[in-house]
């Protein structure tokens, strides 16, 4: 029997601020900024809807009306495949809101992951299931990310077995492992803010991370023992999956990478 997941699409909005990309596009929130001809969140929901491993899609948003007006999302909602859940004050509580009464496992992604394909989400689900992961994070290798965007990301998670970038896609295998979302309470972005690793994972693991001691599996095994569930690094096959739409440069490279896909 094929295991199917509930997908949470995090589409929150920072309180009291207008995202620069949204302001440039003349919309009220980043999730609906047009990217290569359609709202960025539509790229994500289209990929999830086309993925045979995904059952229900839940969009977690503070202002759902503008998103719900997108025709393809309205159709998914009418078909019973998509629902909205209210965003909370912070990312972690928004995950808890999205997870309420959900069928596990959960796949968590973000509304700006325009380049992740249906096949990419299926690859992540299959690898998480094969690893019997309690929780997992999707990564792409440094070489694959640079091949996709040579002028982009300069900092990577460095381990003895290579460098990796976060794909902003996560796995929660069960209700018991939902506490894994607490890792994100500090805001993530551990490469930019290494001190957050100490807060989330402990000082010893910060030292191991900082000096690149051990491969990623060893470090994740240490973290798993700290938290009491199996946390797994899942390496995806396409470096494009690590590129999200954050600012004008990543917006431009995303449109450039989408162009040959659409032409094909």
What average pLDDT does the segment 76-104 reach? Answer: 93
Does residue 201 register a pLDDT over 90?
Answer: no
Q: Classify residue 264: in a domain, yes or no.
A: no
The residues near 85 (Cβ < 8 Å, ≥ 6 apart) are 8, 58, 59, 60, 61, 97, 98, 100
Residue ranges making up the domain that contains 238: 5-259
The rounded distance, in Å, linking the Cα atoms of 122 and 53 is 6
pTM given for the model: 0.87
The number of domains in the chain is 1
Q: Classify residue 126: in a domain, yes or no.
A: yes
What average pLDDT does the segment 158-185 reach? Answer: 82
Q: Classify residue 61: in a domain, yes or no.
A: yes
Q: Classify residue 134: in a domain, yes or no.
A: yes
The rounded distance, in Å, linking the Cα atoms of 215 and 227 is 19
The CATH code of the domain that includes 198 is 3.90.550.10
| pLDDT tens-place string over residues 64-77 | 999 999 999 999 99
Number of Cβ within 10 Å of residue 125's Cβ equals 24
């Amino acid at each position: 029997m094929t295991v199917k997941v509930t997908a949470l699409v995090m589409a929150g909005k920072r309180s009291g601020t207008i995202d620069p990309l949204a302001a440039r596009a003349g919309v009220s929130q980043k999730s609906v900024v047009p990217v290569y001809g359609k709202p960025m969140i539509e790229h994500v929901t289209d990929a999830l809807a086309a993925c045979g491993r995904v059952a229900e899609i839940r969009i977690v948003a503070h202002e759902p009306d503008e998103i719900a007006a997108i025709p393809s999302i309205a159709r998914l909602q009418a078909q019973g495949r998509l629902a909205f859940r209210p965003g909370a004050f912070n990312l972690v509580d928004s995950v808890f809101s999205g997870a309420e009464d959900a069928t596990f496992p959960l796949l968590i992604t973000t509304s700006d992951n325009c380049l992740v394909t249906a096949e990419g989400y299926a690859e992540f689900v299959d690898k998480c299931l094969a690893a019997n992961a309690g929780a997992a994070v999707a990564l792409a290798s440094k070489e694959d990310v640079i091949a996709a965007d040579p002028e982009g990301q300069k900092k990577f998670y460095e381990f003895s077995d290579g460098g990796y970038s976060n794909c902003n896609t996560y796995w929660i295998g069960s209700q018991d492992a939902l506490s894994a979302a607490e890792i994100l309470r500090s805001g993530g972005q551990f490469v930019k803010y290494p001190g957050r690793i100490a807060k989330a994972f402990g000082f010893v693991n910060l030292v191991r991370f900082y000096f690149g001691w051990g491969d990623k599996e060893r470090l994740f095994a240490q973290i798993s023992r700290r938290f009491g569930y199996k946390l797994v690094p899942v390496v995806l096959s396409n470096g494009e999956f690590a590129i999200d739409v954050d600012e004008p440069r990543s917006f431009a490279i995303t449109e450039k990478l989408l162009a040959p896909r659409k032409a094909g």
